[in-house]
């Protein structure tokens, strides 16, 4: 591997961590305007389903292209990394957007464009490291405690995320557009178990890949979703007088 490529990778890692820090600070003052926090003043809009597909599709395509361009297509560990990644992203970009409830809602094109750019860079970071720059791991890695523990965490987070999104999807009857209090599963403890599940997934992915790219993505997810969970939580408490008082925002019993 050329030293210039390695140094470019590390430059992107540090720059991306800097952008995550700026995002985290900005989200203390600004709430991303989509879903219940949608508002005018953010430029042209597009259909929400199209917005979600546009935002998330680079995360499917970019690592897939890197995998097939690499010389690791016959490597079991590289294939496992790819399949675990795609388990999340095929759902998020190609299934989840078509199951959204609440009618023909829209989102700002600027938000979709930011999501697209994020997933382009993140897809590059994951694909470049896992299939080119990182060590080529042999099949014994699949029995390593880091891989097994990370995979268990990833699957637990994925299950929590899926179940929590499923609960939300079934709150509205066909044609309904409002909001209700979700109950059951992770909602017994927090307002945003879907975000908590997402965080656990990417912590697991960082562990199972043992990679700087995985850690950066986990930190980015936290920078984005922790402030949004807090905003959702406040919103629930203001909107519903009977909102369960013991529920936290995103970390059970703590926050
Ligand atoms: N990795 C990341 O950084 C990242 C970033 C963003 C999102 N995500 C993931 O993407 C998924 C969606 O995120 P999101 O921010 O759109 O989640 P969200 O605000 O919880 O909304 C998810 C869906 O459920 C509906 N919904 C939410 N609360 C509801 C309620 N109380 N009553 C009725 N319907 C309700 C929403 O409708 P409305 O659209 O009408 O509000 C939306 O269709 C989540 O699984 C999240 O983890 C990941």
Percent of the chain clearing pLDDT 90 (strictly above): 93
Nearest-CA residue for ligand 1 atom 18 is: 35
Residue 1 pLDDT grade (very low, low, confident, very high; cuts 50, 70, 90): low
Mean pLDDT (whole number) for 153-182 = 96
- Ligand 1 binding pocket mutation candidate from 172, 175, 195 (most atoms within 8 A of CB): 195
From ligand 1's centre to the CA of 140, what distance in Å?
A: 38
- Helix or strand (DSSP H, E) at 160: helix 145-169
Nearest-CA residue for ligand 1 atom 9 is: 195
Pocket of ligand 1 (CB under 6 A): 35-36, 100-102, 105, 161, 165, 168, 171-172, 179-180, 182, 194-195, 198, 221, 224-225
| Residue 231: pLDDT over 80 | yes
β-pair partners for 47:
106
Sign of the dihedral defined by the CA atoms of residues 112, 179, 101, 83, in that order: positive
- Inter-residue contact 250 to 225 (CB < 8 Å): yes
Q: Which residue pairs from 238-242 have beta carbons closer than 8 angstroms and sit at least 24 positions apart in sequence?
A: 239/179, 240/181, 242/181
Distance of CA 126 to the CA centre of its chain: 13
Residue 50 pLDDT grade (very low, low, confident, very high; cuts 50, 70, 90): very high
Q: What are φ and ψ of residue 190, in 5° steps? A: -140, 160
Say how far apart CA 204 and CA 186 lie, in whole Å: 18
From ligand 1's centre to the CA of 231, what distance in Å?
A: 12
Say how far apart CA 131 and CA 233 lie, in whole Å: 39
What integer pLDDT is reported at residue 102 of this predicted model?
85
What integer pLDDT is reported at residue 174 of this predicted model?
86
What integer pLDDT is reported at residue 4 of this predicted model?
84
155, two tokens:
């699957």
Q: What does pTM read for this prediction?
A: 0.96
| Tokens 């879903």, residue located | 35
What integer pLDDT is reported at residue 3 of this predicted model?
78
Q: How far is CA 204 from CA 30, 51, 103, in A?
A: 29, 27, 34
Nearest-CA residue for ligand 1 atom 47 is: 195
From ligand 1's centre to the CA of 35, what distance in Å?
A: 7
208, two tokens:
């199972």
5-9, 53-57, 110-114, 239-243 — which is least confidently predicted? Answer: 5-9
E-strand ranges in the chain read 45-47, 106-108
Percent of the chain clearing pLDDT 70 (strictly above): 99
Residues in CB range of 221: below 8 A, 6 or more apart: 198, 199, 202
| Residue 175: pLDDT over 90 | no
**23 burial via Cβ count (<10 Å: 0-12, 13-18, 19+):** middle
What integer pLDDT is reported at residue 57 of this predicted model?
98
From ligand 1's centre to the CA of 211, what distance in Å?
A: 28
Residue 153 pLDDT grade (very low, low, confident, very high; cuts 50, 70, 90): very high
What integer pLDDT is reported at residue 103 of this predicted model?
82
Mean pLDDT (whole number) for 242-246 = 97
From ligand 1's centre to the CA of 15, what distance in Å?
A: 28
Say how far apart CA 186 and CA 73 lie, in whole Å: 38
Q: Kindly report, residue by residue over 71-110, the tens digit of the pLDDT.
A: 999 999 999 999 999 999 999 999 999 999 988 889 999 9
What integer pLDDT is reported at residue 112 of this predicted model?
97
Instruction: Look over the chain and give the mean of its residue pLDDT values, rounded to a whole number.
Output: 96
Say how far apart CA 158 and CA 155 lie, in whole Å: 5
């Amino acid at each position: 591997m050329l030293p210039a490529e390695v140094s470019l990778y590390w430059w992107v890692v540090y720059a991306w961590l800097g952008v995550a820090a700026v995002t985290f600070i900005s989200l203390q003052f600004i709430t991303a305007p989509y879903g219940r926090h949608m508002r005018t003043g953010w430029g042209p809009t597009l259909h929400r389903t199209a917005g979600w597909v546009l935002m998330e599709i680079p995360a499917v395509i970019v690592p897939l292209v890197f995998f097939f361009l690499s010389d690791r297509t016959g490597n079991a560990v590289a294939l496992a990394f790819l399949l675990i990644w795609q388990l999340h992203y095929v759902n998020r970009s190609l299934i989840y957007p078509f199951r959204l409830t609440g009618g023909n809602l829209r989102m700002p094109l600027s938000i979709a464009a930011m999501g697209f750019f994020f997933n382009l860079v993140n897809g590059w970071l994951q694909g470049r490291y896992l299939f080119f720059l990182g060590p080529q791991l042999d099949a014994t890695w699949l029995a390593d405690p880091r891989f097994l523990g990370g995979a268990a965490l990833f699957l637990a987070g994925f299950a929590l995320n899926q179940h929590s999104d499923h609960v939300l999807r079934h709150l509205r009857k066909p044609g309904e557009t409002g909001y209700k209090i979700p109950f059951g599963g992770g909602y017994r403890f927090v307002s945003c178990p879907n975000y908590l599940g997402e965080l656990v997934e990417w912590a697991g992915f960082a562990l199972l890949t043992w990679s700087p790219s995985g850690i950066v993505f986990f930190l980015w997810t936290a920078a984005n979703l922790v402030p949004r969970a807090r905003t959702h939580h406040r919103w629930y408490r203001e909107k519903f007088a009977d909102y369960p008082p013991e529920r936290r925002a995103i970390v059970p019993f703590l926050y």
